[in-house]
Chains A and B, each alone.
Chain A
Amino acid sequence: MNYFPDEVVEHVFDFVTSHKDRNAISLVCKSWYKIERYSRQKVFIGNCYATNPERLLRRFPCLKSLTLKGKPHFADFNLVPHEWGGFVLPWIEALARSRVGLEELRLKRMVVTDESLELLSRSFVNFKSLVLVSCEGFTTDGLASIAANCRHLRDLDLQENEIDDHRGQWLSCFPDTCTTLVTLNFACLEGETNLVALERLVARSPNLKSLKLNRAVPLDALARLMSCAPQMVDLGVGSYENDPDSESYLKLQAAIKKCTLLRSLSGFLEAAPHCLSAFHPICHNLTSLNLSYAAEIHGSHLIKLIQHCKKLQRLWILDSIGDKGLEVVASTCKELQELRVFPSDLLGGGNTAVTEEGLVAISAGCPKLHSILYFCQQMTNAALVTVAKNCPNFIRFRLCILEPNKPDHVTSQPLDEGFGAIVKACKSLRRLSLSGLLTDQVFLYIGMYANQLEMLSIAFAGDTDKGMLYVLNGCKKMKKLEIRDSPFGDTALLADVSKYETMRSLWMSSCEVTLSGCKGLAEKAPWLNVEIINETDNNRMEENGHEGRQKVDKLYLYRTVVGTRMDAPPFVWIL
Chain B
Amino acid sequence: MEKEGLGLEITELRLGLPGRDVAEKMMKKRAFTEMIMTSSGSNSDQCESGVVSSGGDVEKVNDSPAAKSQVVGWPPVCSYRRKNSCKDASTTKVGLGYVKVSMDGVPYLRKMDLGSSQGYDDLAFALDKLFGIRGIGVALKDGDNCEYVTIYEDKDGDWMLAGDVPWGMFIESCKRLRIMKRSDATGFGLQPRGVDE
Please report A residues at the B interface, Cβ cutoff 8 Å. Answer: 74, 76-79, 134, 160-162, 188, 190, 192-196, 215-216, 218, 239, 241-243, 269-270, 272, 292-293, 295-296, 342-352, 375, 377-378, 400-406, 433, 457, 459-460, 484-485, 510
By the criterion CB–CB under 8 Å, are B85 and A160 in contact?
no
Instruction: Check A243 against B118 for contact (C-beta < 8 Å).
Output: yes
The main secondary structure of chain B at its interface with chain A is loop
B119-A241 in contact (CB<8A): yes
- B197 with A195: CB separation less than 8 A: yes
- Say how far B100's CB is from chain A's closest CB, in angstroms: 22
Near A by CB (< 8 A), chain B positions 82-135 give 82, 84-86, 88-89, 92-93, 118-119, 121-122
B81 near A405: Cβ-Cβ < 8 Å: no
Complex-state Cα separation, A7 to B144, whole angstroms: 75
List of B residues within 8 angstroms of A484 by Cβ: 73
Contacts of A218 in B (CB 8 A): 166
Q: Tell me whether A134 and B78 are in contact (CB under 8 A).
A: yes
Q: Are A269 and B78 in contact (CB under 8 A)?
A: no
Residue B18 at the chain A interface, CB threshold 8 Å: yes
Given A79-B73, A192-B197, A269-B168, A346 and B78 contact (CB-CB distance below 8 Å): no
B55 sits at the interface (CB 8 A): yes
Please give the distance in Å from B1's CB to the nearest CB on chain A. Answer: 22
Say yes or no: A375 contacts B75, CB within 8 Å: yes
Query: Which secondary structure characterizes the binding site on chain A?
Result: loop
B57 touches which of A194, A347, A350 (Cβ 8 Å):
A350
Per-position 1/0 for B68-86, Cβ under 8 A of A: 1101111111111110111
| Nearest-Cβ distance from residue B136 to partner chain A, whole angstroms | 19
- The residue on B at minimum CB distance from A194 is B197
Q: Which residue of A lies closest to B119 (CB)?
A: A242
CB distance from A126 to the nearest CB of B (A): 31
Task: Collect the chain B residues with CB atoms within 8 Å of residue A403's CB.
Answer: 18-19, 54-57, 68-69
Interface residues as binary, B1-44 with A (CB distance below 8 Å gives 1, 0 otherwise): 00000000000000111111000000000000100100000010
A242 CA / B114 CA spacing, docked (Å): 14
* Contact indicator A79/B72 (Cβ below 8 Å): yes
Does B50 reach chain A (CB closer than 8 Å)?
Answer: yes
Q: Closest B-chain residue to A244, C-beta based?
A: B119
A242-B119, A346-B47, A347-B43 given as contacts; is B80 within 8 A of A459 (CB)?
A: no
In the complex, what residues of B have CB within 8 A of residue A296's CB? 88, 92
Q: A77-B74, A196-B197, A243-B121 are in contact. Are A347 and B65 (CB under 8 A)?
A: yes
Given A215-B169, A402-B75; A348-B86 close (CB under 8 Å): no
* Closest chain A residue to B52, Cβ basis: A346
Q: B65 touching A349 by the CB < 8 A rule?
A: yes
Residues of the A chain whose Cβ atoms lie less than 8 Å from the Cβ of B72: 77-79
Is B60 in the interface zone, CB < 8 Å from A?
yes
Q: Which of B17, B66, B166 has the most A CB atoms < 10 Å from its CB?
A: B166
Indicate whether B59 reaches chain A with its CB closer than 8 angstroms: yes
Pairwise interchain contact B74-A270, C-beta atoms closer than 8 A: no
Taking a contact as CB atoms under 8 Å apart, the answer to whether B118 and A242 are in contact is yes
The reply to whether B168 and A377 form a contact with Cβ atoms under 8 Å apart is no
Interface pair A460/B17, CB less than 8 Å apart: yes
Q: In the complex the two chains form, what is the Cα distance from A264 to B75 in whole Å?
A: 28
Of the residues A77, A349, A352, contact of B77 by C-beta under 8 Å: A77
Given A77-B77, A78-B72, decide whether A270 and B65 contact each other with a Cβ distance below 8 A: no
- Decide: A295 near B92, CB < 8 A? Known: A348-B53, A352-B55: yes
Some 26 contacts from A to B, beta carbons below 8 A apart, are A76-B78, A77-B73, A77-B77, A78-B72, A78-B79, A160-B81, A242-B118, A242-B167, A269-B84, A269-B168, A270-B167, A272-B118, A293-B85, A342-B77, A343-B77, A345-B89, A346-B47, A346-B52, A346-B54, A346-B55, A346-B89, A347-B52, A348-B56, A351-B60, A404-B74, A460-B17
A192 to B88 alpha-carbon distance, docked (Å): 19
Known contacts A76-B76, A402-B56, A460-B17; 17 further A-B pairs (Cβ under 8 A): A160-B80, A162-B80, A192-B165, A196-B197, A216-B166, A242-B122, A272-B118, A296-B92, A347-B53, A348-B65, A349-B65, A349-B93, A400-B76, A401-B55, A484-B73, A485-B17, A485-B71
How far does the alpha carbon of A346 sit from the alpha carbon of B77 in the complex, in Å?
Answer: 9
Q: Answer whether residue B67 sits at the interface, using C-beta atoms and an 8 A cutoff.
A: yes
B77 CB to closest chain A CB (Å) equals 6
Nearest residue, chain A, Cβ from B89? A347
Please indicate the chain A residues that have their CB under 8 angstroms from the CB of B92 in the complex.
Answer: 295-296
Chain A's closest residue to B43 (CB) is A347
Asked if B195 is an interface residue, CB under 8 A from chain A, the answer is no
Residue of B nearest to A133 (CB): B80
Q: Which of B60, B65, B74 has the most CB of A within 10 A?
A: B74
Q: How many angstroms between the C-alpha atoms of A195 and B197 in the bound complex?
A: 6
Name the A residues within 8 Å of B36 (CB-CB).
347
Within the complex, which residue of A243, A346, A351 is in contact with B85, where a contact is CB–CB below 8 Å?
A: A346
Nearest-Cβ distance from residue A280 to partner chain B, whole angstroms: 22
Contacting pair A342 B81 (CB below 8 A): yes
Query: A486's closest neighbor in chain B, by CB?
Result: B17
Nearest first, the 10 closest Cβ-Cβ pairs linking A and B are: A402-B55, A77-B73, A78-B50, A295-B88, A348-B65, A403-B56, A349-B65, A76-B78, A242-B118, A160-B80
